[in-house]
Structure 1
Amino acid sequence: MNKLVLDTQKRRVNRQYTQNDHTLIQQGGYISPIPSLWEDILIGVVLQKPILLKGPSGSGKTKLAQSISAYFQQPMQSINCSVDLDAESMLGFKTIIAKEGNTHIEFVEGPVVQAMKNGHILYIDEINMAKPETLPILHSVLDHRRMLTNPFTGEVIHAHEDFTVIAAINEGYVGTSPMNEALKNRFVTFSIPYLTGDQLEKVMTALYPSSTPQMVETFLHIHEDLKKQVLNGLLSEEAASVRSLLDALALAEHMPLERAITYAIAEKLEDKIERDLVMELVVTWVK
């Protein structure tokens, strides 16, 4: 893909995504609330720039990465960051193998090594959940060198030309820490907002075609009210999560709407005042 002429690629990306967005939704894919966002991110991928997706929980960052993987027909290796993430989790580990009566040591390649060698996408989820001292091992992978000296084997790995890095962060969440400048500066950063309006309606009707237009419209109104209260500082960001909204819509096909919202959205909030506010907003739209 990286040998394509960029202008031609740019036109092709825009045309194909517009034509195939319904298919992408059915595959669990991503639709951008900003017309240029999808195209601009793909251009960054073509230019071999590490991509950082920044946005609230449930805004579709993982779905966006999966859609890029589907678009380029490029497998994706994933790292889920936490305080327990270490070099072995990223690069791999040595293990003892018994074969034909003999034992020998083999190295089991981790997601970073596999992605670099095979030209896969490396998706690093919640990168700011990892301990700051864990990630510098990736600095040479993320800059112009695109290489890594594996500390466990001594092997020098030069990335396949199609190797792509996409990372995601939820800013300001418990357990996260600011990315250090050396790491952040290696990425091109895109803010990923929540879906709204027509895009969200398109996703809801594609994923849950048996939902009535009235039910979809009610959920859209509820989501708008939740977003307003998030902006007003009265609700946590997760209250307006599109992921949670879609979970609620799925439940609402089999139970009353109020219970569906309770299980999928309200009960995820730790503050009782916030839970009560969510349900008060719901009541205004339930006839």
Structure 2
Amino acid sequence: MLERLDSGLYEYSSFEIKEEPFYLPQGREVALFEAAYKNKLPIMLKGPTGSGKTRLVEHMAWKLGRPLYTVACHDDLSGNDLIGRYIIKGDDVEWIDGPLLMAVKNGGIVYLDEVVEARKDTTVVIHPLTDHRRYMLVEKLGKIFYAPDDFMLVMSYNPGYQSVLKELKQSTRQRFVSIALGWPGEDLETEIVQQETGVDEDTARKLVKAADKIRNLIHQGLEEGVSTRELVYAATLLNSGVPTRDALYSTMTEPLTHDSDLKRSIEEILKNYFEV
């Protein structure tokens, strides 16, 4: 019989969100997140790059008073990376918890950012934590760890650029409460850029209007539109005295495409709002 262990073993204060992250809701996502947490339901955040998925999780971790364990998923991330591993330390062999096991032991929110990028064996680890079982089997330790009531699993997913080979399976998607985030409306996005950078309203609105036009190029070959994050970067550079052309091209053109025709199209859009 595998042993059930107490999950609240340690306190990881370094994972706590000390100050309130700035976040303006697009809709009812904050209330939905709170309801999911209260009812011990996992959440999947869907949306394009830079649409506020990570900021929402940070804001909610602060609001709920829970530590946040963030994992940036990548091609080489395996289930063992989430669980933990034995390492050699001097003459001893020591077990080191992975971020998911730390959250299961201690409570808190674990955030798997772009989970579809990870290896497929990670779903074997995740699935038992997303239904009524809420446990993690650690075969190397021969133990089962049960998640406490204040544990929550959140993952993000960008369906816009996922390939057939990296599509998230229905068997995984349908284990989560899904919150869809898109680009904020013009007024909201303008306020976000202003609040984050201190730039004047006229400049912030011009950046947002230009971004809206650039996002329409998605139908003409652009992989993704300008993210709110890039608008914040652009406004930050402008506010720091960087020449307009340099600030806009380094944030709203070069990161989006290598295609010369698309770059020219973006340049024409920017000329409608700024002297570049």
How do 1:1-287 and structure 2 match up within 5 A?
A: 27-34=20-27, 36-98=28-90, 103-173=91-161, 177-209=166-198, 211-230=199-218, 233-234=219-220, 236=222, 238-253=224-239, 254-268=241-255, 269-287=257-275
1:133-189 deviation digits (Å, cap 9, x = unpaired): 332122111211000110221121000110001100111425661112222221111
8 Å contact kept, 2:193–2:231:
no
TM (norm. structure 1) is 0.83
The alignment partner of 1:143 has SS state of coil
Shift of 1:63: 0.7
Pairwise CA distance, 1:228: 3.3
CA RMSD of aligned residues (A): 2.0
Please say if residues 190 and 201 of structure 2, whose CA atoms lie closer than 8 Å, have aligned partners that are also in contact: no
Relative to its length, the structure with more helix (as a share) is 1
Task: Judge conservation of contact 2:193–2:232 (CA < 8 Å) in 1.
Answer: yes
Unaligned runs of 5+ in 1: 1-23
Is the contact between residue 69 and residue 100 of structure 2 (CA under 8 Å) also seen in structure 1? yes
Any idea what SS the aligned residue of 1:239 has? coil
Deviation at 1:33, TM superposition (A): 1.9
Deviation digits for residues 60-80 of structure 1, max 9, x if unmatched?
111111111111121111222
- The DSSP-based 3-state class of the residue aligned with 2:95 is strand
Please tell me the residue identity of whatever aligns with 2:84.
Answer: G
Aligned-partner Cα distance in 2 for 1:200–1:187: 28
Q: Cα offset for 1:53?
A: 0.3
Give the percent of matched residue pairs that are identical in Structure 1 and Structure 2.
24
Separation of aligned partners in 2, 1:145 and 1:77 = 21
Q: Post-superposition shift, 1:196?
A: 2.1
* Greater Cα offset, 260-269 or 233-242: 233-242
Matched to 2:208, the amino acid is: L
Q: How many matched pairs? A: 255
Question: Partners in 2 of 1:250 and 1:97 — Cα distance?
Answer: 45
Q: Deviations over 1:31-56 (max 9, x none)?
A: 2222x222122211221111000111
Provide the C-alpha distance between the structure 1 equivalents of 2:273 and 2:221, rounded to a whole number of angstroms: 18
Using the alignment, how far apart are the partners of 1:30 and 1:237 within structure 2? Answer: 26
Q: Deviation above 6 Å: which 4+ runs of structure 1?
A: none
Which segments of 5 or more consecutive residues in structure 2 lack a partner in the other structure? 1-16
SS of residue matched to 1:238: coil
Contact (CA 8 Å) 2:215, 2:224: kept in 1 or not? no
* Aligned counterparts of 1:236 and 1:136: Cα–Cα separation in 2: 35
If the length of structure 2 is used for normalisation, what is the TM-score?
Answer: 0.86
